[in-house]
A and B are shown apart, each in its own frame.
Chain A
Amino acid sequence: MTNRRHFISQSAAIAATLAFPLVGGAQPKSIKVGVLHPVTGALAYSGQQCRLGAEMAIEDINKAGGIKSMGGAKIEAMLGDAQSQPQAGSAEVEKMNEAGVAAVLGAYASAICLATTQTAAKYNLPHVVDVGVADQIVERGLKNTFRFGPGYKKSTEVAMANLLVLNKAAGNPAKSVMIIHEESLFGTGTAQLLSRELPGYGFEVKEVVKHANPTRDFNNIVLRMKSINPDIVIPANYYNEYALLVRTMQQQKVQPKAIFSVLGGAASSYKFVKEFPDAANGIIDCNHWFNPKDKRAQDLRKRVEAKGQFFSYEVFMTYASMWLLADAIERAKSADRAAITDALASSTFSDHFMPYGPTKFVNGQNTGAQPLMTQVWKNDIKVIVPREYREIEPVFPLKA
């Protein structure tokens, strides 16, 4: 019995491989890719922005002829919802694996990425991380995990070095900081790193405050801030809380010398700038940002805005990450998971609008990735550091 079954299944497999070239030649097959984001729950806005970026990238890739090395095979998205929870994200990866996706792109939030990459690793399923800035994501030795953008360690280092430069150039007006961060991996990790490193740069960390997601009342935190009176306020949280915190500061008339954020949820967001121009004005952020001089980024921004959406970092990060994945599939010449993983690992992808240069993965992290420093000025977001991308001179401190 066993032998006969074995025989039947084997011959079926052979028949399938024999039949494949015929089918493949007649009509380019599609390659299923999991697109996994928290499109409902507390992170719904960001998740939906990510999904928009991924879908626009897939549309563009397919329009440009699909995967040419596979006869113009089209990329087909299998959409997943992580419901803003790691376990839900994990369950979606299981589903995507069952459905036979070639790779997964996602899953925005660090805590969710940590779970989804791990689940994908069980099936040797390549997983491109679009945002997920916590460095643990790429520090666990998972062979399937690739992050295109910078992590929070890199971002925090760049931010601190630049803060020091800005402060020195202004005659060292700022001496103390207060850090307000959200409770999950991203906020806690960033805050820990900042409070450990900032004293070495000559700043006194007066207070580190943690808050839940969602928080709908920042009055107590802002009252504490009023009493401590820090020179610089550093928020590390997601959009809703970031916006509410800064608005509450405005309500309570708290005006530090700078609101300086590392990967701030709303700091370099066109949505925030448009909705609350006064609260946003002058905010400095060290965050994912596109090369402002690249025309493709400006064109994409116009297309996103034409859809009535904001060109947020979620959109362009996921857009660029999808192109990275498509480039790997192109070179892998197959939908085979191991081949795509190898192609990602050896990627030198450079045809993109991020300020990263050619891609080079070391332990799953793109070592070329770097954040840019932006400042909200006159209802727009402008790059202030580094010099090669600079659009305006930094304004620091904000008031005398």
Chain B
Amino acid sequence: MFDPGILFSSVLNGLTTGAVYALIALGLTLIYGVLHIINFAHGASLMLALYAVYFLKDRLGIDPYLALPLVVPGMFVLGYALQRVVINRAGHGKDENILLATLGIAIVMENLALIFFKSDTRNIDTAYSLATVAIGPAMIAVPKLVAFAGALVVSGLLFWIMGRTDLGRAIRAVAKEKEGAKLMGIDVDHVYAMCFGIGLACLGAAACFLLPAYYVNPQVGGGFVLVAFTIVVLGGMGSFVGALIGGFLIGIVESLGGLYLGESLGQIGIFVIFIAVVLFKPEGLFGARA
């Protein structure tokens, strides 16, 4: 029905969108893998990060990409503090309490945003917002290419942290065996908070890559979290490789879905995949068998 050039464009477009999905899913899967909770405040946190990028550009004229060194540490500190001060205390060690605490945080964040930022949909305009690069027959927007490269770099960094640093070893130890890790002198509360911080830092990076080609309003996070959750399930709960590959897959499925089924039905593929994975391969593509 479509000629190969157009299909190729659509797949590339999906890959670049998928990269940002992957970044969001990486944060979610890290928090899940270690804390064994779904962070319901993930979408709201992304929304806050997007607003941070927006205001940095709008008020101070800081380019979204140059805002990375500000927004990423900022989100890390927010995540660390949230886990240490709110979630950990409210949780009393029970998973369901933690779950509810994150849900509560999400509601508070979204409504505060509604009060302070209003329900306006805002976006920024940069010189490169509409610049394109030709890749074969496809024209790809520059911000999307940057997001793609950025997502790869950030996930590489994350792999390095998890595989090669003491923090990474500690995180993996806590994820596998909390009591044992405690006995080995690992500060479990600190590791939890670090995980939450890193998870939110991923969102900070995603926000910087996203905003030049996207928009922000107080409800913006919801759509992303649904997709990210699907990616985490598809890739396997807690798996980094799974989140990355799942992100790309979902991006392509969404893009091709939009091309073939039209904009309104485009996302249907994502949720069909979600249901299929839960039915036939509940551990996900790269997940450990439960």
Contacts of A41 in B (CB 8 A): 119-121
Name which of B169-177, B231-239, B256-264, B271-279 contacts chain A. B256-264
Separation in Å of the A352 CB from the closest CB of chain B? 32
Whether B262 pairs with A209 at a CB distance below 8 angstroms is yes
Q: For residue A45, which residue of chain B has the nearest CB?
A: B120
B143 to chain A minimum Cβ distance, whole angstroms, is: 11
- The range of chain B's interface size is 20 to 34
Instruction: Please give the distance in Å from B128's CB to the nearest CB on chain A.
Output: 12
Q: Looking at the complex, which one of A215, A217, A221, A251 makes contact with B130 (CB distance below 8 Å)? A: A251
A316 → chain B closest CB, angstroms: 24
Structural contact, A223 and B9, CB atoms closer than 8 A: yes
Say yes or no: is A69 at the interface (Cβ < 8 Å to chain B): no
Contact status B118-A183, CB under 8 Å? no
- Binary flags per residue of A245-272, CB closer than 8 Å to B gives 1, else 0: 0010011110000000000000000000
Contact with B along A164-185 (1 / 0, CB 8 A): 0000000000000000000100
- How near does chain B come to A221, taking the closest CB pair, in angstroms? 6
Asked if B139 and A40 make an inter-chain contact with CB atoms under 8 angstroms apart, the answer reads no
Is there contact, CB below 8 Å, between A210 and B121?
no
Inter-chain contact A40/B119, CB cutoff 8 Å: yes
Are the CB atoms of A221 and B121 closer together than 8 Å?
A: no
B224 within 8 Å of A by Cβ?
no
Partner of B120, one of A40, A212, A215, A251: A40
Chain A residues near B17 (CB, 8 Å)? Answer: 217
Q: Is B10 an interface residue (CB 8 A)?
A: yes
Cα separation A116 to B145 with both chains bound (whole Å): 45
Residue B149 is within 8 A (CB to CB) of chain A in the complex: no
Check A212/B255 contact, CB under 8 A, given A40-B119, A219-B13, A223-B6. Answer: no
Closest Cβ neighbor of A252 among chain B residues: B139
Inter-chain contacts of A240 with B (CB < 8 A)? 121
Query: Which residues does chain B contribute within 8 Å of A211, judged by CB atoms?
Result: 263-264
Q: Which of B118, B121, B130, B132 has the most CB of A within 10 A?
A: B121
In B96-121, which residues have CB < 8 Å from any A CB?
118-121
Question: A224 near B: Cβ within 8 Å?
Answer: yes
Residues B130 and A247 in contact, CB atoms below 8 Å apart: yes
Residue numbers in A under 8 Å from B259 (CB-CB):
220, 223-224
Indicate which residue in B141, B214, B264 contacts A210 across the interface (CB closer than 8 Å): B264
Chain A hits for B130, CB < 8 A: 247, 250-251
Which residues of chain A come closer than 8 Å to B6, judged between CB atoms?
Answer: 223, 226-227
Interface membership of chain B positions 238-282, coded 1 if the CB is closer than 8 angstroms to chain A and 0 otherwise = 000000000000000001001100111010000000000000000
B166 at the A interface (CB under 8 A): no
Q: Indicate which residue in A44, A183, A209, A223 contacts B10 across the interface (CB closer than 8 Å).
A: A223
Nearest-CB residue, chain B, relative to A208? B262
Q: Of all chain B residues, which has the CB nearest A215?
A: B263
Are B263 and A251 in contact, CB atoms less than 8 angstroms apart? no
Contacts of A214 in B (CB 8 A): 121, 215
Give the distance in Å from the alpha carbon of A224 to the alpha carbon of B262 in the complex: 9
Q: How far is the CB of B186 from chain A (nearest CB, A)?
A: 43
Q: Is the CB of B139 within 8 A of A221?
A: no
* Residue pair B119, A210 in contact (C-beta under 8 Å): no
How far is B265's CA from A210's CA once the two chains are assembled, in angstroms? 10
Known contacts: A183-B264, A220-B13, A220-B259. The answer to whether A251 contacts B119 by CB under 8 A is no
A220-B215 CB under 8 A given contacts A84-B119, A251-B132: no
Is A227 touching B2 in the complex (CB atoms < 8 A)? Answer: yes
A221 contacts B263, C-beta separation under 8 Å? yes
Pick the residue among A83, A220, A253 that contacts B263 (CB under 8 A).
A220
A42, CB-defined interface residue at 8 Å:
yes
Contacts known (A214-B215, A251-B132, A252-B139); A220 close to B118, Cβ less than 8 A:
no
CB distance from B17 to the nearest CB of A (A): 8
Asked whether A387 is an interface residue with its Cβ less than 8 Å from the other chain, the reply is no
Assuming the contacts A210-B262, A227-B3, asked whether A220 and B10 have C-beta atoms less than 8 A apart, the reply is: yes
Q: How far is the CA of A272 from the CA of B264 in the complex (A)?
A: 27
Query: Residues of B contacting A40 with CB < 8 Å?
Result: 118-120
Residues of B within 8 A of A252 (CB): 9, 132, 139
A216 within 8 A of B: yes
Q: How far is the CA of A197 from the CA of B130 in the complex (A)?
A: 35
Which listed residue, A83, A216, A223, A247, touches B215 by the CB 8 Å rule?
A216
Complex: chain A residue closest to B257, CB-CB: A220
Q: How far is the CA of A37 from the CA of B20 in the complex (A)?
A: 35
- If the complex has contacts A220-B255, A251-B130, are A210 and B10 also in contact, measured as CB distance less than 8 A? no
Residues on B with beta carbons closer than 8 Å to the beta carbon of A253: 139
User: In the bound complex, how far is the Cα of B13 from the Cα of A307, in angstroms?
Assistant: 41
Which chain A residue has the least Cβ–Cβ distance from B10? A223
**Chain B interfacial positions (CB closer than 8 Å to A):** 2-3, 6, 9-10, 13, 17, 118-121, 123, 130, 132, 139, 141, 213-215, 255, 258-259, 262-264, 266
Additional A-B contact list (11), CB under 8 Å, known A40-B119, A212-B263, A251-B132: A211-B263, A212-B264, A214-B215, A219-B9, A219-B10, A219-B141, A220-B10, A220-B255, A224-B259, A226-B6, A227-B2
Q: What 6 A-B pairs come out closest when comparing CB atoms? A: A220-B258, A211-B263, A251-B132, A40-B118, A44-B120, A41-B119
Task: Sample 29 A-B pairs with CB under 8 A, ordered by A number.
Answer: A41-B120, A41-B121, A42-B121, A44-B121, A209-B263, A211-B263, A211-B264, A212-B263, A212-B264, A214-B215, A216-B123, A216-B214, A216-B215, A217-B17, A217-B213, A219-B141, A220-B258, A220-B259, A221-B263, A223-B2, A223-B6, A223-B259, A227-B2, A227-B3, A240-B121, A251-B132, A251-B141, A252-B9, A252-B139
